[in-house]
Structure 1
Amino acid sequence: MTSSNTIIRNYSKPLFSTLIAFLLLFSTGPSSSQTISQAGSPTQKQLNTSTLRLGIISVKRSKIPTGPIGWAINQGKFLPELQKLGIKEVQTVSFPNGPNLNEALVAGQLDVGIYGDTPAIVARANGTPTRLISQEQVGTNAWLLAKKNGPRSVLELKGQKVATSKGSYMHRYLIGLLQKSGIVDQVTVVHLLPNDAQAALERGDVAAIAASTGTGPLLQSKGFPVIDEAIKHPDLPGTSVTVVTEAFLAKHPDLPQKWNEIKQAAVKDIKANPEAYYKFHAEVSGYPVNVVKASFPIKQFPEEPIPARGLELLQGTKQFLVSQKLAKSDFQLTDWIVAQKQK
């Protein structure tokens, strides 16, 4: 359906990249997109110069993001600020996980992406020309849930299959946990996207899954035992980051500053109106409000572009990925992060 303000498109073919084989995942079906624009259809020239293509992660294939930027969009405070930079519209495209969003970045299909730090770091280490401009969530939890009548501890996963989305922040958590427990070589980790992993757990096809925000608390509420969480380990929680391509940044050098001003205002508004935010998040994500609250504590939304704790977690994740050869090369975070102008 198409109107003057909204365009929905389906993508039936996977995007291909030159990422390492670890990230060349199976085709995951269609994602969807929405365009937030001024009235009227833009010309092709306008699309090339004034459209921001924003990639987001959505298990439910939502057409707008959640988090502070999603709240700013919902409140009508996002596009008007970007228009001051000459950006006339924002097109959002949803993906089931981070590696798929990476493929779109490599293929030149996106300008900005909001997703987990693990795939973002892997992409940068593999040469994808992005710059880090912000963190949306710091301290993102992951849940290790077992099948009913199955394992009740991490050590009981020996000789078992555990599913997660390879290349995601949950995968980084799972491997780190198995290493800490000394059983990383005794557990078979299989790649399944969140919806497929949930179905496999419910059927009993896998002993456990490492689940993301939303999915973890939802399965817990259905009686699936939680045998571990990322937040129990200081170095294993993730963060949600916002990256921009170097090509788009060259055209809009003031975007990082403006983006973080929008985010900061949105976080302050969320803190002042938490119940309204949680209702919005639940409507967009399809998760019950209690699940959203368990997945996205408002204290994890930083007002700063990149807080000290966020930088610490980024550094730890990068070191892990490089040491495990899941990232092709090391790099300095300071070379990746866009410096913010002092007011």
Structure 2
Amino acid sequence: MSHLSRRSVLALALLGGVAAAAGGCGADAASGASDAAWTLRIGTIGSRNRLTGPVGWLHAQNKLLPLLAAAHVEKIEVYTFPNGPDLNQALVGGKLDLASYGDTPALVARGAGQPTRLIAESLVGNDAGIVTVPGGVSSLRDLNDKVIATQTGSYIHRYLLGALADLGVKPRRIVHVYSTDTEAALAKRSVDAAAVPANYAYAFQAKGYPLLELASKARPRYLGTSATVVTETTRRRHAPLIRAWQQAQTEATRQAKAGWPDYLAFNVDLGPFGADIVRRSVLREQLPDTPFTDAGLTLLKGTKDFLVGQKLVAKDFSVDDWIAPEARQP
């Protein structure tokens, strides 16, 4: 378990931004639109090299690739990462063409100069919660001088920072722990509380770890969104991908809502959560019918402004300018 301070997060983001800028300069000279068939390399968060969300559901049914034919995609490769900062490093290294992950790491990377362009938000209203150890604190206000675990650099981290700032609470430290490892940290009482995604919060609550609050109930302005981005190199070489991906996401969302029980079953199969927790944490209203919505962009801009204020984004920027021109809705 390691502590990652705000200064450390910022330094890593800046370092990644420099590397990305250097890589982008090299790609400029070699770039050029191509009609040749190519392999789309997608990065996402998870552990099984599987796409999630409605697009992942289509991919599991072998229905995604045909929807990308207009972009000449002949093969899809999926790479999963434990959290957003790790995925950002793959983007920096030119190992991915497209990534779909949480808003916070995507915003931090863009603010550090990483040459990505936003093309969609596939989820709006990602929930999170804060749990504590049995017999521990009874409210967030009691977390002064306590140790709190979370996945630093994630949308959950952003929610935690916002909640603590709202209450003027100053923990002893915030430590980086993957959500998959959080239960062990709580069981050993090496941490006093943890901020985790809503599905983990429900699972921990069922095991006797008190749930202090959910973002959706207490602080909806800190709900997360997803960010689907492409690299500038991919945008220049394969511009038709952007519209094709947006159309695929829209169709995937339509099919998911029409076949909701089957979509929930797909999410159960992704594991490790049972049907009850999936029903509580995978919500129809989280799936936008269009690539961008007013609600989604409002949350995204609010997150960006918060991260700038916390000095977790190195340089302020316009979310509207971040959106790829090809991705703008008519």
Please give the TM-score of this superposition, normalised by the length of structure 2: 0.87
Query: Do structure 1's residue 128 and structure 2's residue 82 form an aligned pair?
Result: no
Aligned to 2:31: none
Query: Do structure 1's residue 108 and structure 2's residue 94 form an aligned pair?
Result: yes
Q: CA deviation at 1:84?
A: 2.7
1:61-210 mapped onto 2 (5 Å cutoff) = 61-183=47-169, 185-210=170-195
Q: Return closer, same or farther for 1:170/1:282 CA change in 2, 3 Å cut-off.
A: same
Distance in 2, matches of 1:220 and 1:293, equals: 16
Counterpart amino acid of 1:262?
A
Aligned to 2:209: 224
Deviations 1:318-338 (A, max 9, x none): 001111110110011111112
Q: Is the 8 A contact 2:150 2:194 kept in 1?
A: yes
Q: Return closer, same or farther for 1:255/1:157 CA change in 2, 3 Å cut-off.
A: same
Aligned to 2:28: none
Query: Do structure 1's residue 55 and structure 2's residue 43 form an aligned pair?
Result: yes
SS state at 1:283 partner: helix
Q: Is the 8 A contact 1:62 1:285 kept in 2?
A: no
Q: CA deviation at 1:230?
A: 1.4
Q: CA deviation at 1:23?
A: 5.4
Q: Return closer, same or farther for 1:175/1:151 CA change in 2, 3 Å cut-off.
A: same
Counterpart amino acid of 2:196?
A
Identity of aligned residues (%): 39
Aligned residues: 302
Aligned to 2:11: 21
Q: Is the 8 A contact 1:19 1:126 kept in 2?
A: no
Distance in 1, matches of 2:70 and 2:295, equals: 31
Gaps of 5+ in 1: 1-17, 25-45
Aligned to 2:25: none
SS state at 1:143 partner: strand
1:297-336 mapped onto 2 (5 Å cutoff) = 297-336=283-322
Counterpart amino acid of 1:227?
L
Structure having the larger proportion of residues in helix:
2
Q: Is the 8 A contact 1:218 1:291 kept in 2?
A: yes
Aligned to 1:294: 280
Counterpart amino acid of 1:56?
T
Q: Is the 8 A contact 1:23 1:166 kept in 2?
A: no
Distance in 1, matches of 2:270 and 2:95, equals: 24
SS state at 2:285 partner: helix
Distance in 1, matches of 2:10 and 2:167, equals: 27
Please give the TM-score of this superposition, normalised by the length of structure 1: 0.84
Q: Return closer, same or farther for 1:207/1:19 CA change in 2, 3 Å cut-off.
A: closer
Gaps of 5+ in 2: 1-7, 15-33
Distance in 2, matches of 1:92 and 1:122, equals: 23
Deviations 1:241-282 (A, max 9, x none): 111101011111121211111111111111111111111111
Q: Return closer, same or farther for 1:222/1:186 CA change in 2, 3 Å cut-off.
A: closer
Q: Is the 8 A contact 2:81 2:87 kept in 1?
A: yes
